[in-house]
Structure 1
Amino acid sequence: MRKPISKVSVIGLGYIGLPTAAMFASRKVEVVGVDVNPKTVDTINRGDIHIIEPDLDMVVSAAVNRGFLRATMVPEPADAFLIAVPTPFKGDNHEPDLSYIEAACKAIAPVLEPGNIVILESTSPVGATEAMAGWLAAHRSDLTFPQQAGEQSDIRIAHCPERVLPGKVMQELITNDRVIGGMTQRCSLTAAALYKLFVTGDCVIASGPRAAEMAKLTENSFRDVNIAFANELSLICDELEIDVWELIMLANRHPRVNILQPGPGVGGHCIAVDPWFIVSSAPDASPLIQTARRVNSGKPDWVLDQVKAALGNHLANHPAKTAAEVRIAVYGLAFKPDIDDLRESPALEIAEEILAWHSGPILVVEPNVDTLPASLEGAALVQPAEAARANIHVMLVDHQGFKGSARPEGEIVDTRGVWAEAPRLYSFVERRMVA
């Protein structure tokens, strides 16, 4: 008979770990969150949050005040451990860095007890869950793990990747299906029972952790390839003097075509990262995925060329001016609309590059942050009214507050179509009437 889970420990209280911890706590499960940042721990223990995510503040505040959620820097015994730590790259070849997962294993190993389950939520390359099991076993030779004892192991191990959209995390944690890959069937069922404490979507059992790991990587690589197609279309249309926004609207009239919208690149800790995890595992079999990554990672360079061309146009039209007198306004820094997350953001990258080469004032409009990152020291965080007085306007993120805004005076570099004129599609009858 499966032991009921009454205490959950979440390792890593970032954009996924904290919402997940709050969700369990909202179901009156005792949750201990673990993070290496003392400021994060103190903030949560006050009932506050250190990230922006709709509705998260209310859930965390209620959970802390009712005694179901607290944070610490030192792991303690629990029934279930969820690891939600970063999985970045190391070096220039996009080699996955699993050191954060390994460190988490070392931290929780001393408090593991028979019957515990350890679930890796961090998006990881194929084989990471098995590596995690190996690291835990190396630290706890007195316990058995699935790779040693199968279904009879003391400790259960599984992978269950997050599959949520920033800005809608609290909703999608509940409603989205979860893919669960346990190292044994017992591991999978134990993990599924845990998530069913708050998940209303299906808990889909994969054949093992490798299939679950690959599923998450495949989802984001699929999106990356489709975005790359849209981004490449924008380059082609610029060369052929075609309005890319009109082109995509026309092509999408086909019942089986749904081209995405182009942008300044691809950011965030998922779509810009996960494809490389597949490439690292099968470099010779993934040319399409690699090409899509190159297209998307190269788009910021093209945007910068457009900004430089706009500067050249402005100076040509105002020969008495110097570059140092030209004001450039940048709209948006986040990696996607209506959030404060700057991780892997192409908009931030572009803003940094503009600041590096332009000698004049740089005005930044980003309604979701209170201060600019250190990399933009020298730029000014301003309101839209002040940015409207700039000479060059660079739209990078289509935040809701930007949509519907009047096209400003001056040179325009619009990577999101916010200021694009929407073409009218006439029917044959309408066209005859106009004629």
Structure 2
Amino acid sequence: MRDIIITLIVFGSLPFIFKRPYIGILMYIWISVMNPHRLSWGFAFSYPFAAIVAATTLVALLLTKDPKQLPRSSIVWTYLAFCVWMVVTTLFAFFPAECTDLLIRMWKTAVMTVAMILLIKTRRQIYLVVCALCLSIGYYGAKGGVFTVASGGASTVWGPEGSYIEGNNEVALAFITIIPMMYFLVHETPNKWIKRGILAVMALCAMAALGSYSRGALVGIVAMMGYLWWKSPKKAVMGTVMVLLLPAAIAFMPDKWTARMDTINTYEQDESAMGRINAWKMATNLALERPLVGGGFHIWTGNIFALYAPNPNDVHAAHSIYFQVLGEHGFVGLGLYLLLATLAFRRCSWIVRMTAKRDDLKWAATLGTMIQVSLLGFAVGGAFLSLAYYDVPYYLMALVVCTGYLVENTLKAEAAAARASANQQPRAVAAAPQVHA
């Protein structure tokens, strides 16, 4: 039954995508982030719904008469340079054949991210993209939060099978990254019952993040809360709420959760933590020997650890977005990755600065701030997870480009109208008839 429902929804959306191509972006986000087909048990489980929606969206983009020019954005060009550099590093990789699948997967995200930038042009469309992201991750957050509360935090929350966020650590980072975007929806939604529903899902996502037993997620939550407090105009109120809520949520969790979190302070005695450090040192040694191109995607294997790791027998995944990019794409790749994040964060600051005092554009200021909070949570939590190619942060950066472009065009139009009005006023005065006494 689930297979049929998902198939009908996807194929039923295709005519609407041809009519309004931006709908294809919403559908693609839903399929690629939520993976609804993975909730079925029949033919839909492995059916290429994402490819069908992506192809339809790209054809509709080519056929539409709307302008198809990319904004002049350093974010866009840095992102494309990063994607091109991954092609270069694959050509010089230790195992280029094994890298192909990951390269293709990353470029699929890149193509749809660029398509989003081309198609999402209005405030309503931006709002709908945020809704699609929140719905896709919020489903698992609400489900995981209920599971955590019902089990008293005794069981671990996991993500959707076959996705970037299948693991408990990865899905926890997804939860904390999406909570700020839900906060934006609360501000943008006039209906009080919908507001309450979103707030409830936010709380459940937070509980689900704790229920994942992810130490990186806890660090990310603390970083996000600290940044929110710093940016809040009502620091006393915000601080009081945080002081009350986080300790209460932590107190709810069982002793084994507290014991796991305590290993943050005693990481030298934790085998998992020391294994991560061994992997980070391996990536650093590899990058020092191959500083431009690194080793390519497929380096977290025994053969590579035997060459570069201090402990060649302790083979781990990167467990850090930074060391993952460094080891796989060298210092050039890491530089582009960090530059991309920095440019997106700075553009958010520009959006907030230009719109915070305007009622008509205050939504953009709220969105810019919340994207900053999300990116900060990802940057901190991602320091301990192999999620450098997770698609949601790239979609958020695309939203930064779309929002910034919309704000910039609005300000330019107003400035042009003001100049035109100023130029017309002297002419009107000069043309006025003179009256003689």
TM-score by length of 2: 0.28
Q: Which of structures 1 and 2 has the larger relative contact order (alpha carbons within 8 angstroms, sep 6+)?
A: 2
Larger % of strand: which? 1
Between structures 1 and 2, the one with greater helix share: 2
Q: State the TM-score, normalizing by the size of structure 1.
A: 0.28
